[in-house]
A = this chain, B = another copy of it.
């Protein structure tokens, strides 16, 4: 421990990912100083300006287990077993995510989980969290950062031996890290934004729609979704293009919003009292993809979470990927510490390709959620995929399952997913139901194309 106590690790950001990194690093005996621009959400009732609930999946659960936090986290989780599709006539159709009992994802409150992680970080005894301190700039020549104390408006100079950038999509650690090297940095807007609404709990905290599902009202170019909360309410999110018709730009009047929901989401206004008021009261959130390179600078700093790879939310993997970053970093420290050059280089080598892959897959999944779930051909391929998985569970896993229920690297899931897709295209060609699958062809294709790359996770 004497080696670790010489380190002063500064983490910029105490959101979900920054707080988890503090848990891992504090547990190893490092002196950890966390600076967070917002106030302490354990003492103030604030909306973080981010989505209220999230989907926790396998990759996010694993690091929470390593930290011994899952007993407490489990109490916060609501299993979602699949997608409940709401068609334009108001009818519902359930599409399971997986085939076994444990192939589910979990709705969880961002705020509750963040509070738990902040407590856990402090309980390591090695973590100090400074709230209301906004990162201004970083100097990698002197290993120092300037934060602004939001209460006094004064600069605070902070030295570090290592710096962890967990300061989100607009990361200033990223800006400094990229500028100090020959790095690249890009922000690509999606062109669609989101608006959060709420379906309140029914009488006695009952759930007004199916509790154990992620609800989707897919409408081709846009969609509405809803995730359950413990108190019986659902957080509802509208995803819609910024421009065009329909689009956020044309929803400027109460009448337009009311007509829009009536036309595309009949019945929803009955579930959301004050829908139109909330629509105008709540902010419109932006969506985009941040990609950058590299994710580290020498032995000085690394990026984790959205600071390295802000992605669109359609695979529910933003937090999960960030948590996985923390676990991989911890493994790199275990393997290569205290050679921080090696720790950071290895972290970058392991994580950056996976950040690229999940960014791509999250973009693709928007089309799946808002559109493909209505397509008979898509549903047939999904059904064929489940059949292949039943027969050859060691060889064939649907891509959704690889991303959500397993921990094989995202890039590998993406690669195998492309092979899956080719196999499913072949098998679905010319048939209309799983009963017609050409099993000889299926066996040949699966064994030939996936046989040599059996899942190792």
Which residues of A pack against B, CB within 8 Å? 134, 136-137, 146, 148, 153-155, 170, 175, 178-179, 181-191, 193, 242, 286, 288
Tell me the number of copies of this protein. Answer: 2
Instruction: For A150, give the chain B residue with the smallest CB separation.
Output: B155
Which B residues lie within 8 Å of A189 (CB)?
Answer: 182-184
CA distance A341 to B185 in the complex (A): 30
CA distance A136 to B175 in the complex (A): 13
CA distance A170 to B191 in the complex (A): 24
A184 touches B182 (CB 8 A): no
CA distance A93 to B187 in the complex (A): 45
CB distance from A170 to the nearest CB of B (A): 6
A186 touches B186 (CB 8 A): yes
A-B contact pairs, 10 of them (CB 8 A): A134-B137, A136-B148, A148-B148, A154-B155, A181-B286, A182-B191, A182-B242, A184-B187, A184-B188, A186-B188
Which B residues lie within 8 Å of A146 (CB)?
Answer: 148
Extra pairs beyond A136-B148, A154-B154 (5, CB < 8 Å): A148-B155, A182-B190, A183-B187, A183-B189, A186-B186
Which B residues lie within 8 Å of A183 (CB)?
Answer: 187, 189
Which B residues lie within 8 Å of A148 (CB)?
Answer: 136, 146, 148, 155
A182 touches B288 (CB 8 A): yes
CA distance A148 to B155 in the complex (A): 8
CA distance A148 to B157 in the complex (A): 13
Which B residues lie within 8 Å of A155 (CB)?
Answer: 148, 153-154
A178 touches B184 (CB 8 A): no
B185 touches A175 (CB 8 A): no
B186 touches A185 (CB 8 A): yes
CA distance A134 to B146 in the complex (A): 12
Instruction: For A289, give the chain B residue with the smallest CB separation.
Output: B184
Which B residues lie within 8 Å of A187 (CB)?
Answer: 178, 183-186
Candidates B175, B181, B182; contact of A170 at CB < 8 Å = B175
Instruction: For A187, give the chain B residue with the smallest CB separation.
Output: B185
- Give 5 closest A-B pairs by Cβ, nearest first: A153-B155, A186-B186, A182-B189, A185-B187, A184-B189
CB distance from A252 to the nearest CB of B (A): 15
CB distance from A10 to the nearest CB of B (A): 18
Which B residues lie within 8 Å of A188 (CB)?
Answer: 184, 186
CB distance from A236 to the nearest CB of B (A): 22
CA distance A389 to B242 in the complex (A): 48
